[in-house]
A and B are shown apart, each in its own frame.
Chain A
């Protein structure tokens, strides 16, 4: 478009920055990190003259594909098992995206490098792009997929569903608390650099295998912006590393951000990829294999480890522990089983697993059937109403889990559950690292050091507590997960839309006992009862089995 070179153009726009002479810009966000002014270069040298037409061209491709999908009747080949999980994913993801846009100003006053501010402003508008293009994809699904329920209520349901609440950390963590912890370490260094690989590359590949080529179209277009964001994070990280006083905070924040991303993203994306697919070719990669490639090799070994020489303390132990959770402790399988246990409290349909699925799981994860096979057979058996309750209220040797107060995924790997009394409340945590996050990291002092800008974990963090003592029918009605006949539930534990008798209604739930909050019950126990309960709980599992 222009005869001027990008390098010259980028150099010229650096003249736009100016040091205030009369008044300082407002400082809304604090950090405990310290930065010295440094001439750190914006590595991507993006100028808006080329940026806007480039993004417009990317849009042409995305919207052209969208038209093509509709004209070509893509939805005649889409697997319902897959699209149903998109009701959850696409209700979550627009908020993290827009939150990333909102996060950029947290860096302006704290990272004293105007050249980086340009990159951050472009990231801001990239994120507006991502959020709205993803909302648009969901709208297209709602209009063209057989079952719009759950898409049509998406943003209400995302906000009051416990799965949506888990996912919301992947948004609120970007925009609050210590500005660098949130907008740099949690957002760009870990979430974008590590976990968008599974979110925006691995998952779309699975979508394509399930007949949906629109998800890859949109998300690969999104991912093509991420390299810019990764560079923003990298430049800020190098500036932070230049001051030794930041190293302790960097170590803390990498540990928190890594672990929280692992708990949240691996739970959700692992479930979508492993339990949302119909592609059971033995040579297709499992989530564990993808994780090993995208996260362990590409991020950990190629990106993080080389930073060690600059003084960054890498959480090697937590990366190995995350792998241990995925490979040895069945983290993804435990989460998928829990989502299916609680199908009635969600807003999408969950397809039972078949013999073909069982065979694939056993091939990819040897020992899977002994752990989870029986439970999924029960899920299948109990999937249509026939005088019994939903599986959560039936005797299938599944102990309803406690919530992790920090990551809000339940304490599913039973042996790892720990407890702590904080502010007069007994809290449960899925792992020691989540206890550390709440009790030690998110505090105004850390290892004796004042950290007055560190954020807080707030909110009503156990969903079950809100509905303690409620009838399940009232719970589902309160959340609004009911179809337009006023009684049929949005969620179903099967994909059969042919026979109304096979669809669960509020009337079926009315017969169940009340919902009980594990945390309320825990806090009603005496100290001795609580200790005994904990000892029993950590002997339970796998697959949620009661302790023998």
Chain B
């Protein structure tokens, strides 16, 4: 007879450690108690983002522990010229017997920002997974339907050169403006929204690049590298390129996000995507490209612009620094509207390239100017005269 040796494994134990098993002080205190929600009830989004990035002005009793070579640590508020109420409050001094109290939460107005998209990991993966699935399905369906055979040679050339050139803008801004800015904002809510924005752009760039790869396989003679020459040398693109490069060179994170999402995207991005590509493609037998470019357009118009509006609305209506912020933002508007309009106008030759023409360039530009003016006015800012260039 053989005897089985008992395996050594942890044994389940009944501990009755579930909520409600006993009553004692705090036994029903089941909400995070260190922040004030934006609305009456704390949201799931707030629970997983608020206060993860600390602030010496409220609870961070011992201050930041590691600094740059200049001795500054954490997330200095003066990494942008913009200010929220309380921004000028000094960090509490600590020393023998000072205790650890900071200012009452939120200590300053930056902490009042909430991303209206309520982005956190669950939402961002669901959203982006849905987008890439749909984009893939659209491309696969088009391939199976031999849809690319309907394209005329001029439109093939347009897609390989100009849709291809746009993906460089997405990639550059996604990586070197938005991903870079995710280290710069004063709260976790800012930086998480900015990081998600970054991934929208990087994903959109890759969506377009992989679309190009498919087209290289599906369309005989499709030059999958033509976008490089267009991006590097086509005069119609050099204004966009120079502006995109300038945007990545901005030191102030508040200016960078504002210039990209309030000025450049409405005046140049939407002009190219909504007013050119999505108008011209169907007339030229292309029902696929608008779905890919449209996914990016939705990212911007419905999500990235949405958090951007919320971010800057708080600042232009700030109880202490509204005037300061408006002055600052108006100056940035003037600078970046002028640059963006210049870039937009340089793209004008693209409108004449497809066989079947889209809306006239000037009409398209008027549309985006009008939308831009609406965004600016909603923020309580002045419509810059540079818009009329």
Contacts and interface: CB of A to CB of B under 8 A. Distances in A.
Interface of A: 1-2, 4, 8-9, 12-13, 15-18, 20-26, 28-30, 47-49, 52-53, 55-56, 59, 63, 73, 75-80, 83, 94-95, 98, 101-106, 108, 117-118, 120-121, 124-125, 128-133, 135-136, 139, 142-149, 152-156, 159-160, 162, 165, 168-169, 172-173, 175-178, 182, 208-211, 278-279, 281, 283-284, 408, 444, 452-461, 463, 465-470, 478-479, 483-485, 488, 490, 497-498, 500, 503, 517, 520
Nearest to A126: B121
B48 A77 contact: no
15 contacts: A12-B224, A17-B171, A25-B248, A59-B122, A124-B195, A128-B192, A136-B47, A139-B47, A178-B69, A455-B68, A457-B67, A461-B65, A466-B94, A466-B95, A485-B26
* Ranked 7 nearest A-B pairs via Cβ: A483-B25, A75-B18, A156-B34, A159-B59, A209-B10, A460-B94, A56-B129
A155 B51 contact: yes
Given A16-B206, A176-B68, A478 B101 contact: yes
Interface string B171-198: 1101110011111100010011001101
Contacts of A103: 183
B297 interface: no
Contacts of A500: 24-25
B90 interface: no
Contact of A488 (B25, B232, B241): B25
Interface of B: 8, 10, 12-22, 24-34, 44, 47-54, 58-69, 71, 73-74, 94-101, 120-122, 124-126, 128-129, 131-133, 135-136, 167-168, 171-172, 174-176, 179-184, 188, 191-192, 195-196, 198-199, 202-203, 205-207, 209-210, 212-214, 217, 224-225, 227-228, 231-232, 241-242, 245-246, 248-251
B176 to A, nearest CB: 4
Contacts of B245: 20-25
B26 A152 contact: yes
B33 A153 contact: yes
A165 B62 contact: yes
B48 A135 contact: yes
Contact of A483 (B26, B128, B179, B191): B26
A160 B59 contact: yes
Contacts of B64: 172, 176, 458-459
A503 B48 CA distance: 31
A152 B31 contact: yes
A136 B136 contact: no
B15 A79 contact: yes
A148 B30 contact: yes
A482 to B, nearest CB: 9
A497 B180 contact: no
Given A53-B129, A155-B59, A135 B49 contact: yes
B171 A16 contact: yes
A139 B29 contact: no
Contacts of A102: 182-183, 191
Contacts of B196: 125, 128
Contacts of A52: 125, 128-129, 131-132, 203
Contacts of A142: 30-32
B193 to A, nearest CB: 10
A33 to B, nearest CB: 14
Contact of B199 (A26, A75, A121): A121
Nearest to B180: A105
A139 B47 CA distance: 7
A156 B22 CA distance: 26
Given A22-B242, A79-B13, A53 B69 contact: no
A484 B203 contact: no
A63 B27 CA distance: 25
A175 B183 contact: yes
A12 B213 contact: yes
A121 B202 contact: yes
Given A152-B26, A160-B61, A176-B73, A48 B199 contact: yes
Nearest to B63: A459
Contacts of A121: 174-175, 179, 198-199, 202
A488 B26 CA distance: 9
Contact of A132 (B19, B120, B227): B120
Contact of B32 (A139, A160, A458, A483): A139
Contacts of A125: 124, 195-196, 198-199
A427 B126 CA distance: 50
B167 A16 contact: yes
Contact of A281 (B8, B20, B74): B8
A238 B96 CA distance: 46
B32 A8 contact: no
A517 B73 CA distance: 25
